[in-house]
Amino acid sequence: MKFDVGRNELLGALQAVIGVVERRQTLPVLSNLLMEVSAGELVLTGTDLELELVSRAVIKGHSPGKVTVPARKLFDICRGLPEGAEITLEGTAERVTVKSGKSRFSLSALKADEFPAMGAVSVGKNLRLKRKELRELIERTQFAMAHQDVRYYLNGMLLHVSAHRVRTVATDGHRLALSELAKETAFGDDLQVILPRKAVLELQRLLDPSEEEVELRIAEGQFQADLDVIRLTSKLIDGRFPDYERVIPESGEHRLTANRERVRQALARTAILSNEKFRGVRLQMGDNKLRLSTHNPEHEEAEEELEVNYVGGALEIGFNVNYLLDALGVMGGEEFTMELKGPDASGLIQEVGAGHSRYVVMPMRL
């Protein structure tokens, strides 16, 4: 196998797949990328057995073949070469040589037939979305995914597709984020699948905010996203996601409306002196004022007061300040509302004039 390629073209293809390659692997071949050359095209594949990324690059002067090459080392070599450099890469079953100008690198290789490729998803249900639409759905919900929770079905994001809408939902058991897109689909019945956390974060990284489409394929136990020269394939989480619609509270008699950025900044300041373990912030509402206060075991305190629009009797409630900051941080509107039924009830947070995203935060005792 031998080919010539521009440094920028190769680096772009490597950047697309390098995120799936873990630094520590139980199988040595998983530290490598599968490199296949045919018909003037280079195909790079990386996998961790749960998630696979495939990217393509145009090459010149090639002879076909395939080999595996150490992923991080090749990526670092390519990144370290000058902008616009030309690279010649030649590989055998045991060795890959990279040449550029007067630079030469010799890397150990493993046999291509040892590489565990997942392949394409050929059958299943298909859905086409604009890349910016899917990117926004993911950005507005992914932060609420659990991380290494024993309830494995929470360590991911629910994709819920029906005939007239597409929803993404994430929860870690203490908060919930939901975003939806009005979309006519070919799905007669509702379909719910859980995408693993790593697949969600990689897909978010790959999606650009463009009008171009991404094709999603959902088959038994597998999910695939095709972005022309990049393809992501992931196993699905085999589990039942919680009945999230039951968690979303109905309108409460306490309703706060405020400037999103002013409240976010005030929360960020008070969070500095919150308890580092529990991250609690006290909210006191009444007389069109919102008072924020925190304290910590070192007897340090912070207080903020803001003018807001508030309907309802005086109310005092505690929340994890990070949960509030995360929800306000992904919103785009100028104002938000928070609705509450009482001091022990979950809060429902939404953008004013944009009902396509909802955030539920459970209270905490302070």
Provide the H-helix boundaries in 248-320: 260-271
Q: Confirm if 155 and 103 have CB atoms less than 8 A apart.
A: no
Q: Residue 327: its pLDDT value, please?
A: 98
- Under 8 Å between Cβ of 87 and 99: yes
- Which class is domain 248-361? alpha beta
Domain range list for the chain? 2-114, 125-246, 248-361
pLDDT at 4: 95
Q: Do domains 2-114 and 125-246 have the same CATH topology?
A: yes
CA distance 109 to 113: 12
Q: What is the pLDDT at residue 252?
A: 87
CATH number for the domain formed by residue range(s) 125-246: 3.10.150.10
What element of type H or E holds 131?
A: helix 131-139
Opening angle at CA 206, ends 201 and 212, nearest 5: 130
The 8-class DSSP code of residue 49 comes to: S
Angle between helices 71-80 and 7-17 (to 10 degrees): 140
Residues 317/283, Cβ–Cβ less than 8 Å: yes
Low-confidence ranges of the chain (pLDDT < 70): 122-123
The CATH H-level (homologous superfamily) assignment of domain 2-114 is DNA Polymerase III, subunit A, domain 2 (3.10.150.10)
Residue for token pair 């493993």: 110
Q: Tens digit of pLDDT for each residue in 258-290?
A: 999 999 999 999 999 999 999 999 999 999 999
Contact call for residues 21 and 55 (beta carbons, < 8 A): no
Q: 3-class DSSP state for residue 39? A: coil
Helix, strand, coil proportions of the chain in percent (round to 5)? 20, 45, 35
> Which tokens is 362 given?
């459970």
Q: How much is the pLDDT for 149? A: 95
**pLDDT for position 121:** 76
Q: Tokens 């991911």 sit at which residue?
A: 156
CA distance 366 to 293: 11
CA atoms within 13 A on the CB side of 240: 2
* pLDDT score at 320: 98
For residue 350, the number of C-alpha atoms closer than 13 Å in the C-beta half-sphere is 18
Return the structure tokens found at 240.
């039942």
